């Protein structure tokens, strides 16, 4: 039994949910999102929120049950609150700045790196060593943050690079004489 799947997803005030077969559309104050659920689950709207139930009792159906409930939960949270990911830049001379819809990164290369921000995601640089990626789609926010981090992942000796704000970098000791 899925412990996550058993719980109904509460629908906050100001959010409307429309279920049409396997497709679910959610509309809220921050925007609209939709998803198509797999055939192994059934979604229904009740008084306590959106309830997800498996169609059978096989291992695949039970694993899709929890995943589908989490997808619906992320849709509802996205249109009501939104998601954000914070990145920190460590290193001498490493910095970031916004230029229109692009992020300009100085990361110690011979050239500046420009990352074009896709639609549906907002990126801001409140400080030269801080990047905040936000939006209503959790998958897109995480993907953009991962792509920016990929330009210069943190290294274990000095900790230089782009890291998530909540990430711990395991530090290694350097060479000994």
State whether 87 and 105 are in the same domain.
yes
Per the structure, the complete domain to which residue 22 belongs is given by: 3-80
Structural domain total, the chain: 2
Confidence band (pLDDT; 50, 70, 90) for 174? confident
Confidence at residue 1, expressed as pLDDT on a 0 to 100 scale = 63
Co-location of 71 and 90 in the same domain: no
Q: Are 87 and 76 contained in the same domain?
A: no
Question: Would you say residue 177 lies in a domain?
Answer: no
Do 26 and 62 lie in one domain? The reply is yes
Give the single-character DSSP code of 60.
H
Q: Do both 104 and 118 map to the same domain? A: yes
Is residue 173 included in any domain, yes or no? no
Q: Do 156 and 145 share a domain, yes or no? A: yes
Which of 33, 64, 80 corresponds to the end of one domain? 80
21-43, pLDDT tens digit by residue? 899 999 999 999 999 999 999 99
Q: Please, is 11 exposed, middle or buried when counting C-beta atoms within 10 Å of its C-beta (0-12, 13-18, 19+)?
A: buried
102 domain residue, yes or no: yes
Q: What is the pLDDT of residues 85-97, one digit of tens each?
A: 999 999 999 999 9
d(Cα 17, Cα 24) in Å, to the nearest integer? 7
Domain boundary among 63, 80, 97: 80
User: Does residue 118 fall inside a structural domain?
Assistant: yes
């Amino acid at each position: 039994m899925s412990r996550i799947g058993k719980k109904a997803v509460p629908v906050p005030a100001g959010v409307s949910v429309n279920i049409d077969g396997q497709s679910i559309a959610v509309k809220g104050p921050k925007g609209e999102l939709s998803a198509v659920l797999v055939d192994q689950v059934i979604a229904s709207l009740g008084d306590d929120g959106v309830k997800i139930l498996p169609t059978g009792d096989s291992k695949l159906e039970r694993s899709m049950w929890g995943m589908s409930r989490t997808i619906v939960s992320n849709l509802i949270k996205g249109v009501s609150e939104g998601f954000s990911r914070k990145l920190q830049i460590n290193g001498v001379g490493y910095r970031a700045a916004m230029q229109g819809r692009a992020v300009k990164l100085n990361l110690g290369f011979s050239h500046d790196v420009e990352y074009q921000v896709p639609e549906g995601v907002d990126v801001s640089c409140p400080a030269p060593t801080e990047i905040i990626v936000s939006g209503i789609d959790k998958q897109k926010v995480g993907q953009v943050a991962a792509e920016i981090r990929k330009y210069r992942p943190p290294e274990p000796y000095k900790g230089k690079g782009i890291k998530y704000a909540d990430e711990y970098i395991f530090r290694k000791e350097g060479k000994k004489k």
